[in-house]
Structure formats: structure tokens, C-alpha cells
Amino acid sequence: MADLVILPGSEANLPAEAAALVEAYQRASKADATVRAYRGDAALFEAWCVRFGFRSMPASSEAVAGFLVHEAEAGRAASTIGRRCAAICYAHKLAGHPDPTDNEAVHAAVKGIRRRIGTAPDQKAAITAEVLAAMLIRIPDTLTGKRDRALLALGFAGAFRRSELVALNVEDIREDKDGIRILVRRSKTDQEGRGMEKAIPHGRFIRPVLLLREWLEAAGITEGPVFRPVSRSGRLRSSGQVDHLAPRLTTQAVADIIKKYAKAAGLDASTFGAHGLRAGYITTAAERGADLVRIMDQSGHRDTRTVVGYIRRANAFKDHSGSGSL
């Protein structure tokens, strides 16, 4: 169950090499982060079933409902419980078994969980242009500092997801008289790799292009991953192989960097997450009257509702209905 790649019966007799290829393509149908999360969810469900005497594969709808309620009682967020349910469904479909989550008992349990614990997300603070400026001036002028300045500035200017930032290669950057153009080869909303281009202007205040150039020049990076680990002694870490195989920063490292400099700026680091740069760009653009379509061009959002949510928060006090009477 935990491996999530149990092949349907018709494929179980395939030669080992062919079965491995089928498994690889099944994995590729989901983003790597999703597969990792699903594996963990499946392992938790299997352990719960062992503990309480249920069968995990194929599972009964009663077992699934009981597990989800157990997770709710343990304080899990509604979004986490929803993902647990999706993982169980995905594993059963790959194994060729009926989906135990497609059952009224499970639907009722999920609905009840959502009503009882709520579905409101834990909204992290947006790193607006002003907040970002306060963070940048606290960064020391070391090799690590140059990387962190470039990471934060570029992450904001491109409204990048952290997964997109750590996946960037030097080869994805193209010079332009007005700044640089960056090719995002794959993203959360583009799992098939059609790619999208983001324009990053030179800027007058944050100056993301200049900060990126300073980092690449100081680190001597001419190809391969843009953002890489730096040792405590201040040296660029290497795999000992050719440059394009050099190690990358992890998505967790991006989150840690954001919290580090939020704290250095005297802010409550617990209120900032890795999504803060992306949210901050959208919020800042909305505050300054940028067009919705232009904001979505940069952020890569497909659903206007998400962006409109940021705009509403950014303009909550603008032309307030009670401003003339309160």
C-alpha cells in the first residue's frame, strides 16, 4: 500500500523491465511532492489499519471513514485529511481495486469533518515590497548573503513558487534590454512541462536583476542550478562532478531563509512562509492598481478566484463602504 505503485492484475505478468517503465510513468502522472505526500498518507493509513485490525488493501469504506475521523480527532487540518483520502483513492486505482472513498459513508464523514473543524486555510503573512526591503537590508554581504538576496528578490519579482525557484537553471535565463526573461519549465499548474516565460524588469528599488547577477558572478556559476548550498565556511558546495549536476537548494531551505531574515528584520517569523514572496508580489501589485490579467501573467495562476482573494485583502480599506460614516 505504502509504495502506491501496485500494478493492476493485467500488468503483473509484464517483464520486469516493462513493469518498471509502467511504474515510472504512473509516478510521473503526479508531481514529485504529491507522490511523497501520498506515500506518507498511505503509510499512516496502513499503520492505522494494522493497529485496529482492518485490511488496508483493498480497504473497506468503514475503515477509510474511521481513519479519517481518527485523523480529525488528532487535530489534523481539513486539507490534510482531504489529501489522506485522495491518497487512499489513488493507491486503490493503481492497484486495480474499487475506490473505497467513493462511498456515502466516507462522503458523510468528510462533510462532517469539514463542518466541525472548518476549512479556512492558515493564512501566512504576505512579504510585500516594504517587508522585503526590510529583510534585504539585514542580509550580510557574504557569498551566502548574496545568494539569499538574489533568492528573495527574484522570488518576489517573479511571484515564484519555491519549487520553481530551486528548479531554475542558468540556461533558463535570457538577457533583455529591459531586464531578463526566465523560462519556468514546469510548475504546479503545468505538470506536463509546456513551460511559461516570466519577465523580470531591472527595477529601481528591489533591483532583482542586479542582485541575481551579483550572486552568479560571486559564486562563479555559469551553468546548471542557479541557487545552490553554501558551506558554513562560505564556499559553494559541489557534487564533485560537472557544473550542471551541482546540488540545488531544497524547497525547505527557501522556507528557512525567509524565516531567518523575517526574524532579523524584527518580524514574527512564524507568520511568514515560503509562499510569502508570491503572495507579497500579488498583494503589492494589487495595492498599486495593477491589472488582474497582468498579475496573473506573472504569477501563473489559472484561477482568477485565488488572485481576486489577494486583491480583496489588499484593498480592504480602499473606498470602504463605511469610510464616510464611521
Q: What is the pLDDT of residues 267-312, one digit of tens each?
A: 888 888 878 888 888 888 877 777 777 788 787 777 777 677 666 6
Q: Where in the chain is the domain with CATH 1.10.443.10?
A: 129-315
The catalytic residue positions are 161, 188, 275, 278, 301, 310
Give the Cα separation of 6 and 113 in Å (integer).
30
263, three cell numbers: 526574524
CATH 1.10.150.130 domain extents, the chain: 16-117
pLDDT value of position 290: 74
Q: In three state form, how does the secondary structure of 237-270 look? A: CCCCCCHHHCCCCCHHHHHHHHHHHHHHCCCCHH
The CATH homologous superfamily for domain 16-117 is Tyrosine recombinase, N-terminal domain (1.10.150.130)
Q: Which pTM was predicted?
A: 0.62
- pLDDT tens by residue, the chain, 326 residues: 545 443 444 444 545 554 444 454 455 445 566 777 888 888 899 999 999 899 989 899 999 999 999 988 888 888 888 888 888 888 888 888 998 988 888 888 888 888 887 655 556 688 888 899 999 999 999 999 999 999 999 999 998 988 899 999 999 999 999 999 999 887 555 455 566 888 999 988 999 999 999 999 999 999 999 999 998 888 887 755 556 677 899 999 999 999 999 999 888 888 888 788 888 888 888 777 777 777 887 877 777 776 776 666 666 666 655 556 66
The predicted structure's pLDDT at residue 1: 54
Residue 48's pLDDT is: 92
Cα(301)–Cα(309) distance, rounded to whole angstroms?
12
**CATH T-level assignment (fold) for domain 129-315:** hpI Integrase; Chain A (1.10.443)
What is the predicted pLDDT for the residue at 79?
81
pLDDT of residue 9: 41
Grid cell locating 207: 533591483
pLDDT at 22: 46
CA distance 8 to 128: 49
> What pLDDT score was predicted for residue 255?
92
DSSP string, 289-326: T--HHHHHHHH--S-HHHHHHHHHHHTTTTT-TTTTT-
pLDDT for 310 equals: 66
The predicted pLDDT at position 218 comes to: 94
